[in-house]
Homo-oligomer: A and B are copies of this chain.
């Protein structure tokens, strides 16, 4: 169900783990049958940007699975040691080689089914130089009517783009929080 693998052995001591509800808890956890340590599993954050140049937004054609050959906003897993803003900037650099100035937080979208929270920031492109990394086949700017809506890789990306164009028409950008069913 979730992206995380089941824990079969204790990462601390290597003894077999078993799933049971620990004392003072109400959920099944992986508990080590050797050293007794409890290993928690929690949702992951995906961070990215909506890079904007004039009336165009930047999309990346994915060169990796899942969803190779479909278009995405630059985004990826938040790493230890970085903030959500630093992670969003890093992914924009890695996947598109774009130079951007980060703006406001724009969407916070729960993807409960896979245990993820996606956070997208708006970003102002500083120039149109692009230098996509190995995860990207091609990075390209799209006007709203040019967006390949039937070839978008993820529902969080689609929803973020829909909010972006709607807010831009409305003349005001909000922060959109929602769930992907």
Contacts and interface: CB of A to CB of B under 8 A. Distances in A.
A179 B115 contact: no
Given A85-B177, A117-B84, A134-B24, A42 B110 contact: no
A80 B5 contact: no
A42 B45 contact: yes
Contacts of A9: 9-14
Interface string A4-48: 110111111111110000001001001000000101111111000
A100 interface: no
Instruction: Give the interface SS of chain A, mostly helix, strand, loop or mixed.
Output: loop
A12 B11 CA distance: 9
A: contact size bracket: 35 or more
Given A105-B177, A177-B85, A80 B41 contact: yes
Oligomeric state, in number of copies?
Answer: 2
Contacts of A152: none
A127 interface: no
Interface string A90-106: 00000000000000110
B14 A14 contact: yes
A126 interface: no
30 contacts: A4-B80, A5-B11, A5-B12, A8-B12, A8-B14, A9-B9, A11-B11, A11-B30, A11-B39, A14-B14, A14-B15, A24-B134, A40-B77, A41-B80, A42-B44, A42-B78, A42-B79, A42-B80, A43-B45, A43-B78, A45-B45, A45-B117, A78-B117, A82-B112, A84-B108, A84-B110, A84-B117, A85-B177, A108-B108, A108-B119
